[in-house]
Amino acid sequence: MLHGGEAEGELLVLEAPLSFWGGLDPATGLVIDRRHPQCGESVAGRILALPGGRGSSSSSTVLAEAIRSGTSPAAILLRDVDGIIVLGALVAAVLYDRVVPVLCVEAGAFDALRTGARVRVRADGSLHHVNGVEP
Amino acid sequence: MQILVRMAEVAGAERFIDITCAHIDSCLFHGQAGLDFAERLAGAGGRVAVPATLNVSSLDLLHPDLYRGDAHTARLARRQMDAYVAMGCTPTWTCAPYQLVERPGFGEHIAWAESNAIVFANSVLGARTDRYGDFIDICAALTGRVPDAGLHRDANRRGEIVFALHALPRRWFTSDAFFPILGHLIGGRAGRAIPVLDGLPAPVGEDALKAVGAAAASSGAVAMFHAVGSTPEAPTLEAALQHEPPAAHVDVTGAMIRAARADLSTRHEGPLVAVSLGTPHFSIDEFATLLPLLDGTVFATGVDVYVSTGRDTWEQVERRGWGQTLRTAGITVVVDTCTYITPILRHDRGTVMTNSAKWAYYAPGNLGVDVAFGSLAECIASAQVGRVVRDERFWDDA
């Protein structure tokens, strides 16, 4: 667990790493990186699973701004730890008391995640399928 | 300090170490959250404990008329800039702090944010910074300390993926366009790993290494690379690998380079509305290369040509009397910011040509324009005729 908290929502599994700056519009929650395979998808309110971060140092500010604006994912699941993403969630919690948990998910479990499945993140950092099937 | 301690836990660090300087990316306005954070720190009387330079912002303070955004956003952006200056940061407003006269030396521990500056500091200067993002940069500057983790530690600076370039035509190494293409290729393949470039004729110049790093830190999460014979921790391939076998070895082919080059453009031909140079900020040597290309040049009607640079470099340009040549040629010089992070371009659609892989990567998403990538000379030649002109045959294998 990188940043603790509870969340529930529908999974969006990204096929490639994303730079939140230049890749996510914090005003809308849409993926705007035209080279990303899931450009145009909305992350708002979903449980965003991504292999890792990429690119800009400003990604932490863009995530914090998305959390402030209510366009952010409900939680973030990372295969590879990315300090820049953790920072955005951490600072938004300090400034606005809004918690978006960030978890590191081991590679095998990450590969089993499927877009559309409904999952819950518990405060202890565990991840559960809402309909009973463990992810 | 609360943020630093938590990030130290995330990184698995056992202690903190002292830094000699910081470069702050958090000064660039992306919305209320960044401003709230800055004003909370400044309002509490925060003062930096070490010299701290500032990255680009949203505004060109020397040429304020270039800004085409709304006045409210500009006021908020200016407040955020002022908060960092109030904390004692130096208003350098550049994404290329390594072009400043005072820059960190080999082995110094520093806290730099801004992805291209991070990779340059580690790779070219041999200074040591982890891949810091916004917020932790100023926390490190205020305390003068960072977690002892990541690229601050010897073992984590070991080259991991060898990119062997021996099979490529030697003439490619003479083109400035080759280096951003190479960076784009290795960033996409290396992800977070440390690439080792083997087979470049040494020494490779700083502007070419800047282009490799900026591109690799955009297409990937590269925070350091080695170029054998050119970067200080890679006198030999074995030294770059710290005498261990690499995790992977890639024999780079001409086809890979051509694919990476093609991937940098969303339009490969047709009319242009603008040319944008200087991402990362144009160096004094790059201005020296540009000037002779402008001799007798007239840009096509309707094509705007921009060069982004740091205010310190711009002062040098003016001192050498080059500013008038640029103005006569019709070039718009942008300082303190960059054309892809704030509304400066006159056109918000159409094709813009650039010699920067980083600009090519981000501008279509940020601005909505199409992009054509080319060498510096191709950019200037294209601006003269008003459409994309590129030498495709140069990239043949033979």
Angle at B208 between CA B206 and CA B213, to 5 degrees: 90
Could you give the strand order of the β-sheet that contains B304-309, starting from the edge strand earlier in sequence?
B331-335, B304-309, B274-282, B351-354, B370-373
Interval A84-128: pLDDT, tens: 999 999 999 999 999 999 999 999 999 999 999 999 999 999 999
Angle between helices B136-143 and B2-11 (to 10 degrees): 110
Compute the Cα dihedral for A75, B220, B355, B64 and give only its sign.
positive
Contact B56, B358 (CB under 8 A): no
pLDDT category, A133, cuts 50, 70, 90? Answer: low
Q: Give the residue ranges of chain B where pLDDT is below 70.
A: none
Q: Please give the C-alpha separations between residue B11 and each of A3, A84, B118, in angstroms, as whole numbers.
A: 13, 11, 17
Residue of B nearest to A80 (CA): B192
pLDDT at position A134 is 55
Look up residue B259 and give its two tokens.
């694919």
Provide mean pLDDT across the span A43-62. Answer: 95
Could you give the strand order of the β-sheet that contains B52-54, starting from the edge strand earlier in sequence?
B52-54, B22-24, B111-112
Q: How many helices (H) and strands (E) does chain B have?
A: 14, 14
Query: What residues in chain B have their Cβ under 8 A from chain A's Cβ atoms?
Result: 2-3, 6-7, 10-11, 25-26, 28, 30-34, 36-37, 40, 113-115, 118, 130-137, 191-192, 217-221, 263, 266, 361-362, 364-366
- pLDDT above 70: percentage of residues in chain A: 97
Cis peptide before A26 (omega within 30 of 0): no
Measured between alpha carbons, how far is B240 from B230 in angstroms, rounded to an integer? Answer: 11
Measured between alpha carbons, how far is B112 from B339 in angstroms, rounded to an integer? Answer: 22
Residue A25, phi then psi, degrees to nearest 5: -90, 110
Query: What residues in chain A have their Cβ under 8 A from chain B's Cβ atoms?
Result: 2, 17, 19, 21-23, 26-27, 32-35, 39, 52-62, 64-65, 67-69, 80-84, 86-88, 90-92, 94-96
pLDDT at position B250 is 98
Interval B210-259: pLDDT, tens: 999 999 999 999 999 999 999 999 999 999 999 999 999 999 999 999 99
pLDDT category, A132, cuts 50, 70, 90? Answer: low
pLDDT at position B340 is 93
Could you give the strand order of the β-sheet that contains A118-121, starting from the edge strand earlier in sequence?
A102-104, A75-78, A47-50, A7-13, A118-121, A127-129
